[in-house]
Amino acid sequence: MSTIDDMHGFLASSIGVTCAAALALPLTPPAAATVARPVPSAEVSVPGSTQSLPLLGTSRALGSASLSRSDVHRFSLVGVVWDNPDTELHGRVQVRTRAAVSGAWSGWQDVETHYGDDGADPDTAERASGRVRGATAPLWVGDSDGVEVRVRAGAEERVGERVLGGSGERAVGEGAVGAGTGALPSGLRLELVDPGEAAVPQGAPVGDPRAGSLGTEFGAASAASAASAASAANADLAPLGATEIPALDRTQTEHELFSLRAGELTESQRVRPKIGPRPRIVTRRGWGANEKLREKKFVYTKKVKAAFVHHTATGNGYRCSQSASVIRGIYRYHVKSMGWRDIGYNFLVDKCGRIYEGRAGGVAKPVLGAHTLGFNTNSMGIAVLGTFGYSRPSAAAVKAVARITAWKLGLYGANPRGKTYLKSGGGNLYRKGRNVRLNVISGHRDGFSTACPGWQLYRKLGSARATAAQYQGR
């Protein structure tokens, strides 16, 4: 992330400047500035909130303004969205925020603009819902009550990064240096996300009246049904309403494998199963997912042949005690701001090595995610919380990636050090229908031209593959 002290120098830049967006909106905007996507009244009391504010400005009107304390509700995560998910934002987005407690303003921070490579595959119902929008990555900024944002179209002033991926050496996303289109996407909006507190207090049974506003606003039966369905998807692994799925040793995991997939195991799997011990996984209830945000149904693919590793690009300025809040913020951003049916990743990992359930449907099942555009079928997505273009991931996080892949890939007989074929659903590297040979544990950039998961995490994938294979007893 960069800090720029001289905003006048930024605005005076001659590089393809199309828009510098400034916000100064009261809590109750006038009719002319009414939010285009009004939030249902029932959501007001639901844990967390999203303010969606239109970005103002034209190609000739450059400006910037800070918001006073009364201008925005408190938030902890910020991003920018626009109308067309197939349109890229060629340029730069920067924000600075005011800390709610101290009142101090941060320096200017870059928001990752190359985020369209996450998402549902083309021609899927989720992609064709009419609700999906283009978006930057969400940035975690902590408890804040003031914000400034500026958007510049034009060349991308970033340090080049070259990587060796599925189609050879190429410049990608984070490191690309080149001219933009000179225009910004239509319908630019700033999204200010308050992740709120846990939707159901830890320790309260699903449907417990202590569930608070969920039971009040939506009705206890409806709230309990949504929470119970997500929890019941893991009924083979943990009791209904559990906040975590406990770890198992190797022997216990092998017994579980036989019970979960008895009729689908190959002869070699039955004789000598290759699976890593099941790791501890924090459930959706454990990180406080508001199950009323997502679509009710679960969608599955046939199997899990590969794992794609991502970074969330939300920055590294979070504490491990805040991980659940960061995930709730990403979840709300994916669903309410970007229009997805649920959080896109199947699992998330924090810097302390804790593993979290992502998209609902059951951690042992082949849940169809929205993580690697073109390769969501028969794969899973694991996102490490943070940004790793230049910052190294923690050893605990890399180990956690190895543990979850050793177990989940082992359920489906996949070798973490092996190769597999996935059929492309369409993307910017491989045409639709092409069978692509990939590592069983791949980086996001192997399936799509992107900087994700950042070079410093990408270079650790060899270690993750070797460790995962060892966990499987290979």
Three state DSSP letters for the chain:
CCCCCCHHHHHCCCCCCCCECECCCCCCCCHHHCCCCCCCHHHHHCCCEEEEEECECCCCCECCCCCCCCCCCCEEEEEEEECCCCCCCCEEEEEEEEECCCCCECCCEEECCCCCCCCCCCCCCCCCCCCCCEECCCEEEEEEEEEEEEEEECCCCCCCCEEEECCEEEECHHHCCCCCCCCCCCCCEEEEEECCCCCCCCCCCCCCHHHCHHHHHHCHHHHHHHHHHHHHCCCCCCCCCCCEECCCCHHHHHHHHHHHCHHHCCHHHHHCCCCCCCCCEECHHHHCCCCCCCCCCCCECCCCCEEEEEECCCCCCCCHHHHHHHHHHHHHHHHHHCCCCCCCCCEEECCCCCEEECCCCCCCCCECCCCCCCCCCCEEEEEECCCCCCCCCCHHHHHHHHHHHHHHHHHCCCCCCCEEEEECCCCCCCCCCCEEEEECEEEHHHCCCCCCCCHHHHCCHHHHHHHHHHHCCC
Q: How many domains does the chain have?
A: 2
Within a domain: 170: yes
Within a domain: 200: no
Within a domain: 204: no
State the pLDDT at residue 331: 98
Asked whether residue 93 falls in the same domain as residue 232, the answer is no
Q: How far apart are CA 52 and CA 72, in angstroms?
A: 10
Mean pLDDT of 236-252: 96
State the pLDDT at residue 224: 66
Candidate from 84-88, 178-182, 379-383, 409-413 with smallest mean pLDDT: 178-182
| 40-44, 112-116, 222-226, 354-358, range with greatest mean pLDDT | 354-358
State the pLDDT at residue 115: 77
177 pLDDT band, cuts 50/70/90, is very low
Asked whether residue 40 falls in the same domain as residue 171, the answer is yes
Given a cut of 60, whether residue 273 has pLDDT beyond it is yes
State the pLDDT at residue 153: 83
State the pLDDT at residue 27: 35
Within a domain: 203: no
The percent of residues above 90 in pLDDT, for the chain, comes to 58
Asked whether residue 110 falls in the same domain as residue 227, the answer is no
| 150-154, 232-236, 428-432, range with greatest mean pLDDT | 232-236
Asked whether residue 177 falls in the same domain as residue 260, the answer is no
Within a domain: 407: yes
The last residue of one of the domains, among 162, 194, 226, is 194
The amino acid that residue 437 corresponds to is R
Domain that holds residue 283: 209-471
| 181-235 confidence digits (pLDDT tens) | 467 888 889 999 999 986 544 444 444 433 333 433 444 556 568 788 999 999 9
Within a domain: 140: yes
Asked whether residue 64 falls in the same domain as residue 166, the answer is yes
Asked whether residue 132 falls in the same domain as residue 280, the answer is no
The last residue of one of the domains, among 194, 221, 250, is 194
Return mean pLDDT, the chain. Answer: 80
| 149-163, 189-203, 384-398, range with greatest mean pLDDT | 384-398
State the pLDDT at residue 223: 56
| 178-187 confidence digits (pLDDT tens) | 334 467 888 8
State the pLDDT at residue 336: 96
State the pLDDT at residue 267: 81
Asked whether residue 361 falls in the same domain as residue 312, the answer is yes
Asked whether residue 159 falls in the same domain as residue 227, the answer is no
Asked whether residue 338 falls in the same domain as residue 411, the answer is yes
Within a domain: 199: no
Asked whether residue 176 falls in the same domain as residue 294, the answer is no
Asked whether residue 224 falls in the same domain as residue 167, the answer is no
Candidate from 96-100, 140-144, 214-218, 257-261 with smallest mean pLDDT: 214-218
Within a domain: 348: yes
**Residues present in the chain in total:** 474
CATH code at position 314:
3.40.80.10
21 pLDDT band, cuts 50/70/90, is very low
Asked whether residue 185 falls in the same domain as residue 264, the answer is no
Residue that wins the pLDDT comparison between 301 and 261: 301
The last residue of one of the domains, among 143, 167, 194, is 194
State the pLDDT at residue 190: 93
| 319-367 confidence digits (pLDDT tens) | 999 999 999 999 999 999 999 999 999 999 999 999 999 999 999 999 9
